[in-house]
Amino acid sequence: MAYKFKPGKMYRMPTSFGPSIGPRQGLNGIVPDGTKQEVTVYSVDFLTNPAQLEEMLPEGFSLDGDPVVHIRYMVQTGIGWLAGRGYQILEFSFPAKFDGERDHVRGEFQPVLWEGMADGCFTGRDEVGFAKMWCELPEPIFFQNYVHCIASWLGFKFMDMKIYNLTDAPKDSKPVDWLKDGKLLLKYIPKTEDWGQADVMYPVLSVRGHYTEGIQTVERQVGHGTVEFHKAEWEELPTLCTIVNTIADLEKRKYVGATKVKSLGTSPVFARVNNLNPARILK
C-alpha cells in the first residue's frame, strides 16, 4: 500500500521515509536544545553604487536608505538540531524594503548566502526560501592583530575577508539596526518540464524574532576590515561564477564598519516553538 502524508507534518524530499527532520521539526516532535549554541559573526560593511544593488532586487522590492553592503562570516558551534555540531555561513545582504498590496516591511534583502554544510542548505531553501549555496568555509585564521576568513569552491578561493585591530565596543554604543522587520527573500522553485516557468515564486520575510528572541550577545568588538570577492572564469566556478563576479564588480566607495559579535542561544522562533513561525509569505 502506498504511504500517505501525515497532516500537519513538514516534508522535504525524500518523502518516502516519513516527515523530515531538521531545524524546524525535530525527531518525534522533540524540540532540539539550542541553549548551547554559540555564534560568532565577523562582518565588514561598505558603501557601493546603488544602481548595482537595484539590479539584484525583484519586483516589489526597492533600496531602503544608504546602499550599504553587509558581508558576514558566521562561525556556529553547538547547534541543537545538528546534535551539537557546527558549521560556517557566508552572508551577502543590503538594506531594502518590500511594498505590496498587503505588506509593507523593511529589512535586509539577501540575494545569496553560502553554507559549509549541505543539511543547512536544503532545509533553509525548501522550508523558508533562502537562496542558499554550498561552498568550503573553513574556520577563521587568527594571526597577530587580524582575523582572516576565506570562502572557496573545490579549491578555488573566491572570497577573502580580513578584520584588523578589534577592540571592545564602548558600553554606551549601540549597533546599527539593519535588520528592522527581518530578512527579505524571494523563494523560487523552477517548474519541472517547463524549465522557463516557476512552480513557486513569492517574496518571504524571515521574521526579526528569528535572529533576536532568546539570543544573548556576550561580546561586541569593532575594528577595521576589508573584503574581496575574486572574479572567476566559468571553468573555475561552473555554477557560481555569475554570482561571485557580480559581487566582485560592486563598487567600493567607502568601508563603513567592521565588527565581531558573539552570541549564545537560539531563538524559539527558529524552531517553530509555541506556534511561532520563522517566516511568512509577503503579498
Q: Following DSSP, what letter does each residue of 28-83 receive, concatenated?
A: GGPPP--TT-EEEEEEEEEE--HHHHHTTPPTTEEE-SS-EEEEEEEEEES-GGGT
User: How many Cβ atoms from other residues are within 10 Å of residue 269's Cβ?
Assistant: 23
Distance CA 78, CA 83 (A): 7
- Does the pLDDT at position 207 exceed 80? yes
Across the range 118-130, mean pLDDT stands at 94
| Residue ranges in the chain assigned as alpha helix (H) | 50-54, 118-127, 209-212, 241-248
Q: Give the H or E element holding residue 70.
A: strand 68-77
Report residue 272's pLDDT band, with 50, 70 and 90 as the boundaries: low
More confident residue, 210 or 277: 210
Q: Residue 25: its pLDDT value, please?
A: 87
Structural domains for the chain: 31-281 (2.40.400.10)
Cβ contact 272:19 at 8 Å:
no
CB under 8 A, 24+ apart: contacts of 274-277: 276/209, 277/207
Lowest mean pLDDT among 24-33, 66-75, 136-145, 174-183: 24-33
CA angle 24, 30, 35 (to 5 degrees): 75
**Grid coordinates in use for 152?**
572557496
Report residue 34's pLDDT band, with 50, 70 and 90 as the boundaries: confident
Reduced to 3 states, what is the DSSP secondary structure of residue 216?
A: strand
Across the range 245-271, mean pLDDT stands at 92
Reduced to 3 states, what is the DSSP secondary structure of residue 42?
A: strand
Sequence-ordered list of residues with C-beta below 8 angstroms from that of 39, at least 6 positions apart, any chain? 74, 75, 76, 262, 263, 264
Cβ contact 27:10 at 8 Å:
no
User: How many Cβ atoms from other residues are within 10 Å of residue 252's Cβ?
Assistant: 13
- Does the pLDDT at position 161 exceed 70? yes
